[in-house]
Chains A and B, each alone.
Chain A
């Protein structure tokens, strides 16, 4: 599936991703409403953009009491607004803290890839974000690892 890939070492914590996300979804430059968050690790001296990874086991979807969080055919984990009661259990279940909440709509939200054109990626000046097919992106590394282990390469 296509995914937002993070190149952490390029992130400067400029937070353009946060404001572009909040503006495109909520119509306001409010980082707290952004679906991508830049976590800062001052001790380790780096920044980590955190965004929904549409996990295979999706704890947010598993815990949703109204089946409002569903996996789409393309693999994306999507919140169905009409079914969401705003209980926030998904926020409590997300281990990355990247499930968010729209106070105005009263529903949970996560990264929806902006209908195929993620605005955070568009506005990431340092190039720390990229929207690409992660299966093919991971393939060279997998093949290299397989070769190193003497396993057949697929």
Chain B
């Protein structure tokens, strides 16, 4: 009898899990339960839709026939109410019940609503779901000025999209730099200057305390007492795992769904992957959640393989991000802020005011992180550093005073398979 796989979620982790399952099980029944409608889209590409550079069709990373081709049934527009692990059933809000042999929770994350006075009384936008992006694009067509509350990854991508639409921007960020989860102070200051040089007003170390409607406009009040008005407001103050519906399921939750090195929860035959899963960290003994596309892919694929009964250990999550914003390329890997015992190798290539590169090495001399700000040429080298961190390479210094030294063996480690 074929195995019944049920996957809750229809984005990176779930799609990668389908690949993992199909690698070893061509016959099993796979059902994807999706709270949104339509085939999977690229969340990463949403800002490009807002900016008018991509159509809704362009955003799709699967078409309906793609699911049929690999034997996946898609249940759309259905929220999961609860999981009954003892009966091996997923209960939907519509009242339907879906039975499973193996279950994957890949529900991703949801936006955090910040405690700003008056927020619910004004029109405001997030940039997390397709619906959010459609709403933001419509509002942006009428707006001349906007505030972006939160200068993190999503906030900055939203800001970049709005800037392409010639909207005058004010970004409010609590930390002293923009992209505090991606950049250290040195890189952050360099980037901050680049954003301000583009004519964007950036208020760092600032908090929005209240917002209010003022005619057709929105009045924004900062904690400092300063006020200004804008036509539209974007809220990007972070995301958290979408796991509240699991409260009574018996599945152990911490910040997210706790899983072991095989992406298994404490309940038999229930797995979790992607933004919702709290996994082991690659660099430390801690558990971590990196709400990023690459970890969702890695976890999803490993979970899929494990759901078929094979064993594939997940090596742990490693933070990695890259983005081009305001004509500057920014990239981050692993532990890019030095901790106790770590040492830092700085390299600013020619024109040091425009480029910033830092490598972090732990007390054992092992590479643990890097951060880069500059042009796109440096990112390919970050790829080599990325693989070196994953192999726990020792730092070997700089060659020719500029580029990190890697041995021939380090670069050619992954012998190509044809």
Which chain B residue lies CB-closest to A92?
B322
Give chain A residues whose Cβ lies under 8 Å from the Cβ of B382.
91-92
Question: Does B386 sit within 8 A of A, measured CB to CB?
Answer: yes
Q: How large is the interface on A (under 10, 10 to 19, 20 to 34, 35 or more residues)?
A: 35 or more
Q: Are B383 and A43 touching (Cβ within 8 A)?
A: no
Q: How far apart are A137's CB and chain B's nearest CB, in angstroms?
A: 9
Bound Cα distance A19, B381 (Å): 20
Q: Smallest CB–CB gap between A132 and chain B, Å?
A: 11
Q: How far is the CB of B183 from chain A (nearest CB, A)?
A: 15
Contact with B along A59-81 (1 / 0, CB 8 A): 00011011100000001000000
Query: Would you call A88 and B322 a contact (CB within 8 A)?
Result: yes
CB of B74, distance to nearest CB on chain A (Å): 17
Closest to A138 in B: B418
CA distance A32 to B321 in the complex (A): 22
Find residues 363-417 in chain B having any chain A CB closer than 8 Å to their own CB. 375-377, 379-384, 386-387, 399-400, 405, 407-408, 411-414, 416-417
Contact: B44 with A91, CB < 8 Å? no
Q: Which of chain B's residues has its CB closest to A42's CB? A: B399
The reply on A141 being an interface residue by CB < 8 A is no
Chain B residues with CB below 8 A from A13, complex form: none
In the complex, number of A-B residue pairs with CB atoms less than 8 Å apart = 125
* Contact between chains at A53 and B323 (CB < 8 Å): no
Contacts of A3 in B (CB 8 A): 418
For B12, the closest partner residue in chain A by CB is A65
Do A65 and B45 touch across chains, with their CB atoms under 8 A apart? yes
Kindly list chain B residues whose C-beta atoms are within 8 Å of the C-beta of A48.
Answer: 408, 411-412
Stretch at the interface among A20-28, A95-103, A123-131: A95-103
B105 within 8 A of A: no
Check A92–B418 contact: CB distance below 8 A.
no
Given contacts A89-B44, A97-B380, 12 further A-B contacts (CB under 8 A): A39-B411, A55-B416, A57-B417, A65-B42, A66-B42, A66-B59, A67-B61, A85-B48, A86-B324, A91-B376, A92-B333, A101-B377
Binding site for A on B (CB under 8 A): 12, 16, 42-45, 48, 53-54, 58-59, 61-62, 293-294, 297, 301, 320-324, 329, 331, 333, 375-377, 379-384, 386-387, 399-400, 405, 407-408, 411-414, 416-418
